[in-house]
Amino acid sequence: MKDNTNTSLAKETKNLLKKYDLKLKSSLGQNFLIDNNKRIQIIKFAELSKKDTVLEIGPGIGTLSLELAKHVSKLICIEQDKRVASILESRVEENHIDNIEIINDDALKVEFDKFNKVVSNLPYQISSPITFKLLEYPFDRAVLMYQKEFAQRMLSAVGDKNYSRLYVMLAFKVNTEFLMDVPKECFMPKPKVDSAVVKLIPNHKFNMENKEEKQLFEDYEKIAKALFQHKNKKSENALINSRHEIGYNDKKELKIKLEDIKNDKLNKLLNKRPINLSPEEILDLTRLLQELFKNKF
């Protein structure tokens, strides 16, 4: 038997857009999923149960939401576009769904209520800030769709051509896993780029409740930021050039202080280029530089 579900999801989306005369805004990354197989797979990857409270950022007209709601205790949808949110509201009512809460707001600006999973086809223009915001909350698992290029940077590792500050910033917070590619043909309207779905599981490597660990992690983030502004220079020069990130204005002062504390281990790290430093090495570097940055950050 021929499976017409895909054609029908595309058709359903087209009809809804027509019915509500919805003009899509590319500035809000409004590309709706029209591939039913991908929708089924995303839901499977989330391993949902009736105990789950799921957060969905940018639900659009509810392509994922209406299905997600069937498998969970509660779904919280945050949609910035007022017209889109009201279409979702109507669909929820028409389908007699009572476990979806719709919040019509900018996901970057609102506090999130308690949730234990996140499943979203994210609005691409907020990929980075929304990911970091999510990581400030405790959760069990996130299944997120990103632009492919962004996903590749998340999933890279030291030595890869996509090795990035993003990877370094995520390394001590979450374990990331590639789940599947989603070609641009799976969306309406068709975007310019392909997408990929990624799983994020918090790895609890840092205990942010502990004051010292929290401080160390914050210092690590600042050092990573400074290093990756000049990722092909020697790390020592990268730090000196981006000294404002680590609390120094005066180039000479930083150079003298670095000379003072140099030892074999520190020399070795400072001579490497940031693109060749693993997150563990950047953390070592942070530890070795602690004295230097005391009262500076």
Binding site for ligand SAH (CB under 6 A): 28-33, 57-60, 63-64, 78-81, 84, 106-108, 121, 123, 126
Q: Which is closer to ligand SAH, CB of 105 or CB of 280? A: 105
Q: Which is closer to ligand SAH, CB of 84 or CB of 266? A: 84
Q: Which residue is nearest to ligand SAH (CB)?
A: 58
SS3 of 74-127: EEEEECCCHHHHHHHHHHHHHCCCCCEEEECCCCCCCCCCCCCEEEEECCHHHH
Q: Least CB distance from residue 233 to ligand SAH, whole Å?
A: 35
In angstroms, the CA 296 to CA 33 distance is: 48
Q: Least CB distance from residue 145 to ligand SAH, whole Å?
A: 7
Q: Least CB distance from residue 71 to ligand SAH, whole Å?
A: 16
Q: Which is closer to ligand SAH, CB of 90 or CB of 276? A: 90
237-246 burial by CB neighbour count: b if 16+ within 10 A, else e?
A: ebbbebbebb
Q: Which is closer to ligand SAH, CB of 182 or CB of 289? A: 182
Q: Which is closer to ligand SAH, CB of 108 or CB of 157? A: 108
Alpha helices in the chain (DSSP H): 5-19, 36-45, 65-69, 82-94, 127-134, 148-155, 165-170, 211-228, 235-241, 251-261, 264-271, 279-288, 290-293
Q: Which is closer to ligand SAH, CB of 64 or CB of 227? A: 64
In angstroms, the CA 116 to CA 177 distance is: 18
Q: Which is closer to ligand SAH, CB of 117 or CB of 243? A: 117
Q: Least CB distance from residue 7 to ligand SAH, whole Å?
A: 17
CB 140 within 8 A of CB 117: yes
Q: Least CB distance from residue 29 to ligand SAH, whole Å?
A: 5
CB 74 within 8 A of CB 50: no
Angle between helices 279-288 and 264-271 (to 10 degrees): 130
Q: Least CB distance from residue 88 to ligand SAH, whole Å?
A: 9
Q: Least CB distance from residue 32 to ligand SAH, whole Å?
A: 4
